[in-house]
Structure 1
Amino acid sequence: MHIEEESLAEAGERRIDWALRSMPVLRAVGERFGRARPLDGLRIAACLHVTAETAVLVGALKAGGAEISLAASNPLSTQDDVAAALRAYGVSVHARAGVDRETYYRHIHRALDTGPELVVDDGCDLVNTLHTERLDMLDGVTGGCEETTTGIIRLRQMAAEQALRFPMVAVNDTRTKRMFDNRYGTGQSTLDGIVRATNMLLAGRTVVVAGFGYCGRGVAERARGQGARVIVTEIDPVKALDASLHGYDVRPMSEAARVGDLFVTVTGNRDVVRGEHLAEMKDGAILANAGHFDVEIDVRALEALAEDVNLGVRPHTDEYVLPGGRRLLLLAEGRLVNLTAAEGHPAAVMDMSFSAQALAVAWLAEERSRLAPGVYDVPGEIDTEVARLKLGAAGIGIDELTAEQADYLHSWRVGS
């Protein structure tokens, strides 16, 4: 196992205990797993952000009987104290904050060395490594779950090319995750990271949000709620129209680049902010990425344009000085700003996402022998159960269908 300091375990336990206070649904799932043991004896390799909320998920899977080996899905998001606490709990952890690319992938290989039967991924790096470098392990893997949009994009392409060798469940695509995690979680935590890194006032600023999917919608809503003028850039005509009908100024990036004060990429694609855009930006413009990988902002183009670089002008803020003295500020090295400059989604958000993840793992453990390789949606009853448990924990009641209403919805014979 490769972690920073075992002595940090006590601090990690406090952080995990704090997260637990806001995760009643996952606590309930863990208690259920402890009684039913749906994962008894299963070896699971996971590649996730090593945070307090992830530790609660790992605890639920362990309660279900699983043996967990965990690597980090982003080297800048790892909370070293949480990694130490997980190791003290008996979890095989391979994660340390700030490691280089080579060490990051070495950690993934170490997680795979356990010979997993199931995998849990966030971004598809673990699954990709299995299919490209660890072919010796493929036959033993019978299924897995993917947590994020970027990973599912990669998995669907693998499935289309018939390269995917086992069934993967698209946890990101549940209604609860898209609504609660992607929209509200990403919206709040992205602005949290930006404000922590810069201490900027958003009111009155022009914020350019690249991408109007569920995550981009959340960032745009929260920025507007803080008093910012919001410009949305898109490649999808339907999403662009949706943004326009929500009252946002929709423009191509070539135009937005000239007027933006803050740029936030949330697309899942690469080179969204390119050299020609950087060349047009005003002095002091801030660049932040809320997509999974550090490819949405072309950092190499930024480095090539710069005459000087001042690293760490603030924590997680680097200043690039361009010809003529213009300065562009890059946050979190172009990596996930919400998990690098802040703590990621609030625990109350991850409560729903990780509950769906845990229940999907249990479903997959039971159904995997009947599933062909491919990408599968989470069963609707799991999504509904997570929402029901969250409402119950919040003390919120809802109506139920009467017998007559249920019959009406299932009959085609009754008209107006």
Structure 2
Amino acid sequence: METFERAHLDNYFGRIAERFAPTEALCSVVVTHLLADRPSFVQAVGTLAEVRAVLPKPKSIHHAAMAEVSRGSVVDELSRERFADPDEAVEYIEERASGQRLVLLDVGGYFAPSLHAMCDRFSGQVVGVVEDTENGFRRYQALGKPPCPVFSVARSPLKQPEDYLVGQSVVFSTEALMRSRGDILHGREACVIGFGKLGSSIARMLHAKSVRVTVYDEDPVRMTQAMSQGFRIARSRSDALARAGVVMCATGNLALRHDDFNQLRNGAHVATVTSSEDELEIGGLANLYRRSPVGEHITRYATTGHYFYVLNNGNAVNFLHGASVGPFIFLVQAEILAAVANLAAQPEEPGYYEVPDAERRFIAQTWLNYFNRR
């Protein structure tokens, strides 16, 4: 970021933090995409809840941002395995925040498997969790009643601009990779698996590029929504894959399982909006398909009579090009700060919460004051 832009962003977060400054001391462990603009957000979190550790999502690390954050905070390696084991999870937060009031900032439900153990056995207090994504929020919902308050920004109206622009960036990156091999989207048929906020945005963007789009979602309500918007809907996943030259996976919950890959048409390109562990069951293909790189971030899977391409090893393609959604991401980050302040201000009963509408309106107006300057 340019120096002026960074200063402007820091001032914006300073205004947000001033509005939501907690009266009770708090510390935090922060899971984040460590992109170029993220040091300002981490710094802002620290003004509300001392940052005891930053856990960057491994497929989205900007090296300059990593270096900057590392100068002021402990940066640890993030993996699902670390927080899948309750003993290891409790040991980790003891090491980083023993005896403290702790808030967990999450992107993808990493803390969910061990949340009960952390709340029961931690020497301090897990005040609550703030979750950024729909996929992650579903992981917490699967717990039933959680052992502490869980704030979600995943379904906030302030996140809608981000979701729309992420869909655009996924299509941009998919086409950029295809063009690197002399191919284009135009004239192909595409299949979008998952018609949630990101999937619907991807489908509309593909349609705008004159791509014929078929949608498949396991939820019949979403299928009716897709149909009402003019998209062809598939009767089954097999039907959706049969003619698609491009397959865009946007479910967050294994869009393609092991047995689905043999139904891809020859030459199909497969792209996802999240990590491979959440969208593609590709680990079992090693004994059936030969893997070979055919371009930067493009892998060809081939066996006798059948081949297809997986982009970015099945991880979110848009992070190859910065995953930028412009200043709209700062709306969501401000709401995360508001959620932290809500957790610090008053002890909530265990359950699921959202930031109040009045606070969202303050965030939106502040954002407009800073980023709608003519």
Distance 2:121 2:2 in 1: 35
Offset of residue 17 of structure 1: 5.1
Distance 1:171 1:209 in 2: 24
Contact 2:167 2:202 in 1 (8 A): yes
Distance 1:186 1:146 in 2: 18
Distance 2:83 2:151 in 1: 24
Contact 2:193 2:199 in 1 (8 A): yes
Quick check: 1:350 aligned with 2:329? Answer: yes
Q: TM-score, normalised by structure 1?
A: 0.78
The structure richer in strand per residue is 2
Aligned to 1:321, the other structure's residue is in SS state strand
What is aligned with 2:307?
327
After superposition, the Cα gap between the structure-2 partners of 1:347 and 1:395, relative to the gap in structure 1 and judged at 3 Å, is: closer
What is aligned with 1:336?
316
User: Which blocks of at least 5 consecutive residues in structure 2 are unaligned?
Assistant: none
Aligned to 2:363, the other structure's residue is in SS state helix
Distance 2:188 2:117 in 1: 45
What is aligned with 2:51?
67
What is aligned with 2:356?
379
Aligned to 1:114, the other structure's residue is in SS state helix
Contact 1:189 1:343 in 2 (8 A): no
Q: TM-score, normalised by structure 2?
A: 0.86
Distance 2:35 2:224 in 1: 37
Distance 2:136 2:152 in 1: 9
1:317 to 298, 314, 331: 298
- 1:54-98: CA deviation from partner (whole Å, max 9, x where unpaired): 3221121223463341112x311122221111122x122124xxx
Distance 1:300 1:337 in 2: 18
Contact 1:46 1:111 in 2 (8 A): no
Offset of residue 181 of structure 1: 1.6
Distance 2:245 2:340 in 1: 42
Query: Residues 175-194 of structure 1: matches in 2 within 5 Å?
Result: 175-177=157-159, 179-182=160-163, 184-194=164-174
Query: Residues 400-411 of structure 1: matches in 2 within 5 Å?
Result: none
Offset of residue 384 of structure 1: 2.0
Distance 2:232 2:95 in 1: 50
- 1:130-187: CA deviation from partner (whole Å, max 9, x where unpaired): 44579632752111200001111011111x2x4x22101011121121x1122x1221
Aligned to 1:295, the other structure's residue is in SS state helix
What is aligned with 1:114?
96
Quick check: 1:362 aligned with 2:348? Answer: no
Q: CA RMSD in A?
A: 3.0
Distance 2:63 2:79 in 1: 15
Query: Residues 143-154 of structure 1: matches in 2 within 5 Å?
Result: 143-154=128-139
After superposition, the Cα gap between the structure-2 partners of 1:85 and 1:255, relative to the gap in structure 1 and judged at 3 Å, is: same
Percent pairwise identity: 22
Distance 1:135 1:16 in 2: 45
Q: What letter is aligned with 1:85?
A: E
Distance 1:17 1:150 in 2: 35
Aligned to 1:45, the other structure's residue is in SS state strand
Quick check: 1:128 aligned with 2:108? Answer: no
Contact 2:119 2:125 in 1 (8 A): no
After superposition, the Cα gap between the structure-2 partners of 1:235 and 1:138, relative to the gap in structure 1 and judged at 3 Å, is: farther
After superposition, the Cα gap between the structure-2 partners of 1:114 and 1:364, relative to the gap in structure 1 and judged at 3 Å, is: same
After superposition, the Cα gap between the structure-2 partners of 1:42 and 1:348, relative to the gap in structure 1 and judged at 3 Å, is: same
